[in-house]
Amino acid sequence: MGLTVLAEKGIGPLPFHSKALEREGLAAEASKLLSRGVRVLLLARGAWNLWRMIAREAWMRGDNYFLLEAMDVGEASLAGVSVGVFALARRLYYEKIPADRAVFERMGLREKRVSRRALLSSVIAGSVLTAVEKPEKGDACRGRGVEALCDTCLDKCGGAACSAALCSIELLNVPGYSREGLLEFLRTLRPRPPGLILFASRWSMDELLSALVKGSMSARAYIVPVTCPYVVGLEELLAARALGLEPVLVDHGGEVYDPYCESSRSLYRTIVARDYERITGEPLSILEPSGIEEVLAVNDWKREAVPNAGSLLAKGLHALAFAEVERRELKGGVSLESLLSASLRVDPGKCTLCSACSQECPVMALGLVRKGFREALVFTPGRCIACGYCAEICPEKAIVVEYRLEPGPLKPRTLVEQDTVRCIACGKPVAPRNLVVSVARKMMERKLPEETLSTILLCNECRAKYQLGLVKVDAKAARKTLEQLLRRT
């Protein structure tokens, strides 16, 4: 769903089409479009004060106020860029947000059934029916097959908004924020340290901007509007640090009633904020707009970006986050509650190197590598998203997933390595030893003929020739080879 941009006359130039109106006409036009289900972006001086007024009216009518977005021209100055550049970055962020998927719930009438028509005919419709920041599983989750196996985010948060912060690949949608949109925002602005990145509730934006303007800002401030700041994940926070920015969460201070707010606020502090402190050694700044002056007073954001931050930003937030983790040089490892990454343990006695885990891993964190006549399962921690899919689909139940970051560089490491059985006809590699043994045992249990049993010691090419009678196999010699393999396993 695209955005209709309504800009106050005199603002520009803008790098995209917009409808220029006098300030007095912005509210009426925005309300009309919202009532038709159209997404609107307001560009104006004092835009967030205007946003608050229009959003409240939409809430009272029972309209989806998540469809309304805003940008104050002063935000560009705080970021040290032109209005046009900042407007483009903000628009790219907004366009990735699934605002049309906002969930409507009755507020205050949970035991009483009320028709939508009756609700909308009431002057207090917003008090009984409102759009809330409730996560839902998106199309990507269903498409990857992870959905049926990974419920960690919902298990920890019970459907609160902060469960979206725990989903490591944004398979959960929330109507007021997008991790993918944040990446587009940062790529467009290419922020330079030192500076702040403020994830601020839309309801607190007006007050926040006033505080920032009054304060003595010696660094840049990049503001990311969210409905609930507790949807921002550990990955984004660490990525900000990697860019040399200080992440700050700005709450709305309880101004907006949402049944999930309090649980999100509490759980976020005990899960994401705690993990952030475990990794960085510093507490995460979470405050209300009035508290921003305390942050500005400190004024010592001597953050430095990681080497090659620009090229890492091109790869994505995950790459940035792990560059920050590597910079920390964690000693002894760190246990995590958030799904940032995982440490894998594989039982070499059970693993057959069957490739099920490497083929199904949604981010290719696992891979089979052949080294001459040996084959290895290689794990790349910097890619892992801690979904646990590998452990679930392993037919031998050989994988254990631990939610922790291990010390040392996050480079590929070998989990299991085995000899490869050679073809008894040509000597080429056939398959890892444990896999051949596993198949042989199953064939023996079924009491298959020795001639059939011997074919598992043939490579694909020789097996095809065997079917055509072009290759002969000594069944007794093959049996002896298999017995030797069984004794060694």
At 152-188, the pLDDT tens digits run 555 555 555 565 676 665 556 678 899 999 999 999 9
Indicate whether 140 and 225 sit together in one domain.
Answer: yes
Residues 6+ away with beta carbon under 8 Å from 85: 15, 76, 188, 189
What pLDDT sits at residue 162?
A: 61
Measured distance CA(476)–CA(463) in Å, rounded? 17
Residues 360 and 465 in one domain: no
Q: 377 and 280, same structural domain?
A: no
d(CA 417, CA 369): 9
What angle is formed at CA 162 by the lines to CA 139 and CA 101, rounded to 5 degrees?
40
pLDDT, residue 313, reads 96
pLDDT, tens digit, for every residue of 448-483? 887 888 888 889 899 898 888 888 888 888 888 888
pLDDT at 8: 96
Is 103 part of any domain?
no
* Any domain includes 186: yes
Counting Cβ atoms within 10 Å, is residue 179 exposed (0-12), middle (13-18) or buried (19+)?
buried
- On the question of pLDDT at 226 being above 80, the answer is yes
Instruction: List pLDDT tens digits, range 352-385.
Output: 999 999 998 988 899 999 888 899 999 998 788 8
- DSSP assignments along 309-365, one per residue: HHHHHHH-HHHHHHHHHHHH--SS-EE-SSSS--EEEE-TTT----SHHHHH-TT--
Instruction: Verify that 364 and 274 share a domain, yes or no.
Output: no
Look up residue 117 and give its two tokens: 């028509």
Helices vs strands, H then E, count in the chain: 23, 20
**Structure tokens of 426?**
């040509």
Contact 325, 383 (CB under 8 A): no
240 in a structural domain: yes
Distance CA 466, CA 426 (A): 12
CA 260/CA 185 separation, integer angstroms: 27
3-state secondary structure of 81: coil
For residues 292 and 213, state if they share a domain.
yes
Same domain, 405 and 456: no
Q: What is the CATH number of the domain that holds 411?
A: 3.30.70.3270
Specify the number of domains making up the chain.
Answer: 3
What is the model's pTM? 0.79
**Residue 440 banded pLDDT, cuts 50, 70, 90:** confident
Residue 334 CA to residue 58 CA, distance in Å, equals: 45
Q: What is the pLDDT of residue 198?
A: 95
Q: Average the pLDDT over 86-92 and give the result.
A: 97
Residue 322 amino acid letter: F
Is residue 197 situated within a structural domain?
Answer: yes
Residue 118 has pLDDT above 70, yes or no: no
Domain range holding 394? 343-417
**Cβ pair 485, 440 in contact under 8 A:** yes
- Kindly state whether residues 204 and 300 are assigned to the same domain: yes
Q: Which two tokens stand for residue 58?
A: 């939409």
Residues 396 and 438 grouped into a single domain: no
411 vs 8, residue with greater confidence: 8
